[in-house]
Structure 1
Amino acid sequence: MTTSTERPSLTRLGKGLRRLEAVDKVTGRANYTHHVSLPGMLHAKIVRSHVAHGRLLGVNVEEARAVPGVIGVYTGADILTVIPEPYYGPAFHDQPILAIDKVRYVGEPLAVVVAESPHVAEDAAGLVMADIEELPAVLDEVEAMHSDIYVHDSLRPAGTFADLKHLSGIRDTNVALTFGVKKGNVDEAFARAHRVFKNTFKTQQVMHVPLEPMVSVADVRHSHAYVYTASQTPSFARTEIARLLGWRENQVTIKTAFLGGGFGCKLYVKLEPLAVALSMLCHRPVRVALTMAEQFYTITRHPTTFRIESAVDESGRITARRCEVLWNGGAYADIGPRVTQKSGFTAPGPYDIEHVDVSSVAIYTNRPPAGAFRGFGIPQLVWAYESQADIIARALGQDPLEFRLRNVLSDGKRHATGTVMQDAAIPAVLKRLAERFGWDQAIERGTGRKRRGRGIGVGIKACVSPTTSVAAVSVAADGSCSVQGNTVDMGQGSDTVMAMIVSEVIGVPAESVSVVSPDTDASPYDMATLGSRSTFHMGHAVRLAAEDALAKLQAMAREVGVDRVDPNDLGMLFVRKFGMQAGTIIGTGVYKPTYQSPDKQTGQSEDITPNWMIGGCAMEVEVDTETGMYTILRMENVVDCGTALNPLVVDTQISGSAIMQLGTVTLEEMEFDEQGQLRNAGLSEYKIPGIQDIPRYIGREAVDAYQANGPFGGKGVGESAAFGVASSLAAAIEDAVGVRITDLPIRPEKIWAGLQARQGQESTQ
């Protein structure tokens, strides 16, 4: 589409509209995949590996098979009889449906019990015994980078993504992908720098914790696979199941419904291949539903080690930056290589730096797999580069806000990749954040054991590209409309904004527009519901489809002798055309933004992303100097999402994103022992924020901005408020008590240990 800096006059978009499904959700009438029940449906329970790395010598299933009500107990050998190449994954075909020959992490599926009842299946699963010859395991990404313990002997690239066609993996290493960005001459810039700062920051492994656990139901019959699944990627699921079976795509039907949260864990395929294989073996529908605890063994967020080195001149300008980011991808790559590339190039941060050298590395370990998580790797990066920004500002005696504004990228400047920044309101976000927070006003520092401090941070994210979205808009004979596409509403309010876009184009009320739940037999292709791409990409596709439908309505009006299309009486056109309430108008739209693949040697690209998402956070905290306990007194969040197409939903997305990120910053951590055993799977040990764990006041705002190439000036917002949470909290704590935390989560005992170490240093001086 042609872009314009002139903002269109909106009649329906830009005004808050309650989610169209709200009443159904709060009254319990909304449909979820967990509600699916098919005639003759069986239930599966997964048996998992108890070691992190080993040769699978055998699985004894006889005792489990003898349990009344058990239909079958299946291993990888059984899967091979129905799917000869049972390996899947969006980056590499590296993950078997059930373990074959080896296990690579504690919790890997190695057998499945299928029974008439889920309780019978669970009881019988406890009787399955696996014989595993244990091998040395590697759990840490830094160790795995140089280890001669290899998680995989060979890798088969999936070829799924156009921008990762070159993906091959590196033999005799644990490296899945290395991606680099080079600009200028970093070595020379460091040699002539006024000061150089070198720091290492670490993040922990966390889980998405959607309150609807993963579930898939498969019914394979008459050479057709029907799969009902809680998935963020129905289009990909159809393609991948068809590939595994060697079938045409029209022999696979993927149906989904509302998701009770996803946050990245329900992307690509997770349970679907297993459910399909079991249905083929049992000749009946099979339901595979995880418990909350089992999700921890399925997909997680990458732990990272980020080494960052920055050079500054006398004025406080950052002149050079070297970044090494190591992503702990666990036993299987999932989408980790794309996280490594798509987020890795933003490691230098939202700053105008002349000399840059970035190395972003996806690494296999013997931990549970890691993949997409709200933010797609960006929160881990912002934690590091914004923490270092505060360290530099403090060392130079500069105000943290002024230091950022002195260095920040603005429109017209080139990002480290060479892409010119456009419609990226980074300075506006920082300035508005400071205004809301009252940054120019002194805070009460506190006395005695309670001390106060404040911090501020900002981050950027490139919208994922290249991707494709297709939509259809149908106008019924009474003038009501429906939208068909494979974008999945998992709580972000996408169905409502798509209805609002149709309403804006055609003129009908949004309440008269229904959004059909994804069904690959009827819904057009969409790459995925991820990365805050739906408003931008699917929003464009729906806009184009609605415009196509409107053009056809206008043509029909001319045909029947009507001067103009009246959105309040569309049914009249159909009556005039067909002599009765009959017929359908169908508009279609396809959207694929422009994109230039980065140069393989330098990572340079003139067109790395169609838009930038920006989010900033400021916090004030109070710290108890005797215990390290802290209280967040205030948290302000400001984002740039272009035009807020539905301000009511934007507000809740900002606070929801910030609160979720706050959990990963303050509470959440998957805790492993030296053998790779997870100690705290499940909500009884793994703590997510409750009402008492969040600040009493959470401010939120979308700055007045406009995305010229976006649908009606809009772009995504679901991740932006997550960016600056971690670093602003760490900065506020250091501002209060002088303790700098460099590894997440930020727990009171770490602050207390820092206070004790500081006291020890002072006593020896």
Structure 2
Amino acid sequence: MANLAIVGQSVYRTDANPKVTGRALHVGNIEMPGMLHVAVLRSPYPHARIRHIDKSRAEALAGVAVVLTGAEIAKMPAVDAHFGPAFRDQPILAVEKVCYAGDPVVAVAAVDKRLAEDALQLVEVDYEPLPAVFDVLEAVTPESALVHEQHRPAKAFADLAHVQAGRQSNICYHFKLRTGDVERAFAEADRVFEDTFSSPAAQHVPMEPHVTLVYLDEHERLNVWTASQSPSYVRTELSATFGIPMNRIRVRVPYLGGGYGAKLYAKLEPLVTILALITKKPVRYALTREEEFLTITKHKVVTRIQTAIKDGTVTARKCEVYWDTGAYAEIGPRIGHKSGYTSAGPYRIPNVCIDSYCVYTNRVPAGAFRGFGVPQVIWAYDSQTDMIARAIGADPVEFRLKPALDEGEPFATGTIVRSFGIKEAIREAAQAIEWSKPRAAPSGTKSRGKGIAAGVKAVLTPSISGAIVILNADGTANVLSSTVEMGQGSETTMGQIVAEELGISLEQVHIVQPDTDATPYDTITAGSRSTYHMGNAARSAAAKIKAELCEVVAARLEVAADDLVAGKGRIFVRGMEERGMTVGEIFLAKFGSLGTTLAAEAVCQPAASHMDPETGQSEKCTEYWFPSATAAEVEVDTETGQVKVLQLVSVGDTGTSINPRHCEQQLLGAALTHLGLTLFEEMVFDEGQLVNGSLLDYQIASFKDMPESVRPIVVQVPHEDGPFGAKGAGETGALTVAPAIANAIEDAVGVRICDLPITAEKILRALTDKEGTAVSIGSTTS
């Protein structure tokens, strides 16, 4: 990157000043005259039929504009009472029955939030409890209670177009992968390892809760301000739900106060929209923190994994992965598919069998969470990889390096891997933790150990990002992009890419925030896809403008356009900076004035090859990969079971780092988020009722939980098709934290925990178990 001026530089974030000074706009800051506020009555039952709702007393309360039920929505002409990105199974408000404790049943819009909440106290609902299912493994059995009698695919995304209407079953999606002869490999194996791992439901806890404001403008067009990671999808969903043409819907997203997957797809928008349509007034709904816990969660996952070993080498792996998607599918089928096919790991395993099931239960719906389900499957396969290495006397680092895929080799799906720095990541992690250095001797009741883990995630493919770049006559540029700035630094990254391509300074680039009236379509801001997809679109659009500029200069200076370069706000002859023209001079030459603009649009739309529904084989299942490795050193107190993380090293292959500091921050932020998920975060349910649904009871990581040393390491294996070779980095640090810490704990005290979170109680129980059962809690080997 020697010839690059801005790309590759750790410039400061362009959104830093408005955020730290409190001037940044968020949806919750927007006030409008006559605005109504929303409160929602939620079901106390996990599964029940709604017999009757009496809302008369609430409607009579002064200041209440509307009291709405699902039955009323279902009767509205041209309105679909259900929505959802994979299946249209989630009601705007419960229709006929509720499917989890917390399901929205009645909504009130009133002049203030307190009045709306008071009105809910006057609503009476008569329920008839129904049989419920709370365990994902029980839910897949034929005798289990059904959460839904029918499955209606949404057909909203190309990668889910193959999803079919389901039979009567709680399994709403089943992904299969088959390669080689698994049964024969198991029969010929020296040893077979069989283990079960689980990770619980957890909450995203973004700093800003979900909030949506909807109003009708002077043209009766629907205007939506919303805290969303997917404004383009929200517009499409509202159009489909209410039968409103898309050009009559405007969706805008200002700065987002964190998302982590919680704010993907439609959440509050359908409900707030229908209330605005009924009342003809601005309506805003902001979730309380307690409601956040009842809206979306991370998937609980149970993974059964069998691995065959022959002559010290993994010859086969069989995985059964059960995704508890809760009461509504949300994006669970995509997670079960995209994360499911990575369940065997980034290793050269000739025989692989994977069954990944997305399963309904009567629990809070689950959706995307930073890592898109991949951390849950890596927790299983790389914990077991470490267990196998120790059992056969192999070094855990070398045991991973030997079968790790090289550039140009096929993944388990048959897709050839490119820009695949998994070995580089493993080596960097091992070196940083001083893996080969002897472990410290125990001190009293405290023992230390080191652990390492590796894994890989695939980017969502196919997907689409479009960008428009407008160059002004003074050399400044506007970039129209529907990528949402939610703390990841996308505005700075896009600015660097466009500035580099046009040869102007970063300060001369302005990023226009998502506005579906102006900014082109973008699939989602998630999945570590924005730098590659939107970055490619923005760079391509800027390149078109640069080509126009070069044509003018080439004609004026009588040189070949290929001999021209851009830099310092000018187009000049390569090697002769004095022979050139400024942007203003080029505009005068082309247009005869400075009052116009040059604009260009580009789209990045990587394609994927068809995946065989029976074997999961595909020539190209993804555009690129995110190799990850984590190394940890821990100290375990054998008297209390307490774990202290002394060192945490997060390594990720980001391709070319557009902004190295940003990449390091992304690795650290993701890793520290999953530190809490590893050690103590868990949503606890009792017969479908959430027990710890507030921050008084639900513990998240704080400064006191931070390791003494946290170090990010960026591995740069450029992708030939990425913008300047870049990929993404938003999730990479999240992928391998849990197994690295579990592996370090076993290295320290010789016990294995297979169920997250790894609490002191579990460790202490394992330590006090009899020898032979403490080595691997919940696991068996043969």
Give me the TM-score of the superposition, normalised by structure 2. Answer: 0.94
Unaligned runs of 5+ in 1: 1-6
Query: What code does the residue aligned with 1:384 have?
Result: A
CA distance in 2, matches of 1:37, 1:597: 48
Residue 280 of structure 1 deviates from its aligned partner by 0.9
Which of 616, 623, 631 is the aligned partner of 1:618? 631
Aligned residues: 754
Q: 2:150 aligns with which of 142, 154, 175?
A: 154
Go from structure 1 to structure 2 and tell me whether the alpha carbon gap of 1:474 and 1:761 turns closer, same or farther (over 3 Å shift).
closer
Q: CA deviation at 1:602?
A: 0.5
TM-score, normalised by the number of residues in structure 1:
0.96
Alignment counterpart, residue 641 of structure 1, candidates 635, 645, 654: 654
Question: Secondary structure of 1:465's match?
Answer: coil
Q: Distance in 2 between matches of 1:474 and 1:95?
A: 40
One-letter amino acid matched to 2:108: V
Q: What is the CA–CA distance in structure 1 between the aligned matches of 2:54 and 2:123, rounded to whole Å? A: 6
Measured at CA, do residues 64 and 188 of structure 1 come closer, stay the same or move farther in structure 2, by a change above 3 Å? same
Q: 1:587 aligns with which of 600, 603, 606?
A: 600
Specify the alignment match of 1:299 in structure 2.
Answer: 296
Which of 662-671 and 190-199 deviates more? Answer: 662-671
* Residue in structure 2 matched with residue 18 of structure 1 by the alignment: 12
Given the alignment, which residue of 105, 110, 113 partners 1:115?
Answer: 110
SS in 2 for 1:524: coil
Match of 2:616 among 600, 603, 610: 603
Which residue pairs with 2:182 in the alignment? 186
Equivalent position of 1:289 in the other structure? 286
What is aligned with 2:701? 689
CA offsets 1:330-370 (integer angstroms, 9 cap, x no match): 01011100000011000001110000000000000100111
Kindly, what percent of the aligned residue pairs are identical?
45
- In 1: Cα distance, 2:114 partner to 2:556 partner: 64
Query: In structure 1, what residue type is equivalent to 2:243?
Result: G
TM alignment of 1:7-406, pairs within 5 A: 9-80=3-74, 81=76, 84-146=79-141, 147-220=143-216, 222-314=219-311, 316-406=312-402
Paired residues of 1:8 and 1:712 also in contact (CA < 8 A): no
**Where do residues 392-541 of structure 1 align in structure 2 (5 Å cutoff)?**
392-541=388-537
CA distance in 1, matches of 2:512, 2:768: 59
Code of the residue aligned with 1:128 in structure 2: it is V
Partner residue of 2:677?
Answer: 664
Q: Secondary structure at the match of 1:353?
A: coil
Question: 1:576-629: per-residue Cα shift (whole Å, max 9, x none)?
Answer: 444443001001111111310211111000111111101111111111111101
Tell me which of 687, 701, 710 is aligned to 2:722: 710
Q: RMSD of the alignment, in Å?
A: 1.6
Q: Give the superposition deviation at 1:573.
A: 2.5
> Shift of residue 549 of structure 1?
1.4
Residue 686 of structure 2 corresponds to residue 673 of structure 1? yes
**Relative to structure 2, which stretch is displaced further, 147-156 or 14-23?**
147-156
Deviations 1:17-71 (A, max 9, x none): 1110101110001111111222221101111111000101122212222333221
Q: Distance in 1 between matches of 2:53 and 2:42?
A: 11
Distance 1:552 1:289 in 2: 47
- What CA distance in whole angstroms lies between the structure 1 residues aligned with 2:159 and 2:245? 25
Correspondence for 2:777: none
Query: In 2 relative to 1, CA 41–392 (structure 1 residues): closer, same or farther, beyond 3 Å?
Result: same
Alpha-carbon contact 1:163-1:597 (below 8 Å) kept: no
Q: Which amino acid in structure 1 is aligned with residue 730 of structure 2?
A: G
Aligned residue type for 1:78: E
Shifted more, 618-627 versus 165-174: the winner is: 165-174
C-alpha contact (below 8 Å) 1:43/1:117 kept by paired residues: yes
What secondary structure sits across from 1:547 in the alignment?
helix
For 2:100 and 2:216, how far apart are their aligned partners in 1? 30
Name stretches of at least 5 consecutive residues in structure 2 with no aligned partner: 571-581, 775-782
Further displaced range: 118-127 or 567-576: 567-576
Structure 2 CA distance for partners of 1:459 and 1:701, relative to 1, 3 Å: same
Shift of 1:760: 9.8
1:749 equivalent in structure 2 = 761
Q: CA deviation at 1:454?
A: 1.1
> Is 2:463–2:607's contact at 8 Å kept on the other side of the alignment?
no
Deviation readout 1:420-473 (Å, 9 max, x if unpaired): 111101111101111111111112031321111111001100011000111000
Q: What secondary structure, in the 3-state scheme, does the structure 2 residue paired with 1:692 have?
A: helix
Contact 1:83 1:277 (8 Å CA) reproduced? no
Preserved contact between residue 152 and residue 166 of structure 2 (Cα < 8 Å): no
Question: Once the 2 structures are TM-superposed, how far is the Cα of residue 170 of structure 1 from its aligned partner?
Answer: 3.0
1:734 aligns with 2:746: yes
Alpha carbons 1:560, 1:577 under 8 Å: kept:
no
Post-superposition offset of 1:714: 0.6
Distance in 2 (CA, whole Å) between partners of 1:199 and 1:276 is: 47
Q: Once the two structures are superposed, what CA deviation does each residue of 1:119-165 show, in whole Å capped at 9, x if it has no partner?
A: 21122223322211000110111000114310001111111122322
Tell me the residue number matched to 2:574. Answer: none
| Residues 326-335 or 550-559, more deviating | 550-559
In 1, the alpha carbon distance for the partners of 2:607 and 2:71 equals 45
1:165-217: per-residue Cα shift (whole Å, max 9, x none)?
22124322101100010001100000000110000000100011101000111
Distance 2:460 2:180 in 1: 26
Structure-1 separation of matches of 2:318 and 2:590: 67
